[in-house]
Amino acid sequence: MALEILEDNSTSALQNPTHTYITSGTYTVSLTATNAYGSSTATKTNYITINLPTSPIANGAITTSGSITLTASGNGTLYWFHSATTGTSLGTGTSYTTPVLTKTDTFYVESVIPHTASSVGMAAKTTNGGYYTSTGVNGENL
């Protein structure tokens, strides 16, 4: 099985493919299932619409103890990090107070808005073609 996002030419050969959208837009997707009897492709034109939130805006103010209180505004839940791409969250909310700083440091804030998961595929075994039998939830990763 392969999932292809036609607008950005990304593909996956995983059994349970997912895709992370990094830009807003409307996307056409194509799913190809292949086995010993051949292959079948289903394409959905303009099927997924992604509206990413605006980035949070952050400011900082030095405290008398040598730490900095950072504040941010944005949509959803705000998470504070030391790294732009990896790491454990330092905290959540519209403000974060650093420990006492002894050197120049960088902090990042991320806005997370939960989305509704979408199940895919036919749920009934009585139809022609493939069907969906998992009890898990499938959805788009954003």
HEC profile of 16-33:
CCCCECCCCEEEEEEEEE
Same domain, 14 and 27: yes
Model pLDDT, residue 93 = 92
pLDDT digits (tens, 9 = 90+) for 52-82: 777 788 887 777 778 888 899 888 889 999 8
User: Residue 127 and residue 46: Cα distance in Å, rounded?
Assistant: 25
Same domain, 63 and 101: yes
By residue range, what is the domain housing residue 63? 57-112
Task: Scan for tokens 């790491």, then name that residue.
Answer: 87
**140 pLDDT tier (thresholds 50, 70, 90):** very low
pLDDT digits (tens, 9 = 90+) for 8-60: 677 777 777 777 777 888 888 888 877 888 888 888 888 888 887 777 888 87
Model pLDDT, residue 127 = 55
Same domain, 88 and 104: yes
Same domain, 19 and 8: yes
Specify the number of domains making up the chain.
Answer: 2
Q: Does the pLDDT value for residue 104 go beyond 70?
A: yes
More confident residue, 12 or 119: 12
Same domain, 77 and 96: yes
Quote the Cα angle for 34-20-56, to 5°. Answer: 170
Same domain, 47 and 61: no
Please state the pTM of the whole predicted model. Answer: 0.51
**139 pLDDT tier (thresholds 50, 70, 90):** very low
- DSSP code, position 126: T
In sequence order, which residues have a C-beta less than 8 Å from that of residue 71 and are 6 or more positions away? 58, 59, 60, 61, 94, 95
Same domain, 45 and 24: yes
Same domain, 69 and 97: yes
Same domain, 94 and 24: no
More confident residue, 135 or 34: 34
Same domain, 49 and 2: yes
Same domain, 129 and 83: no
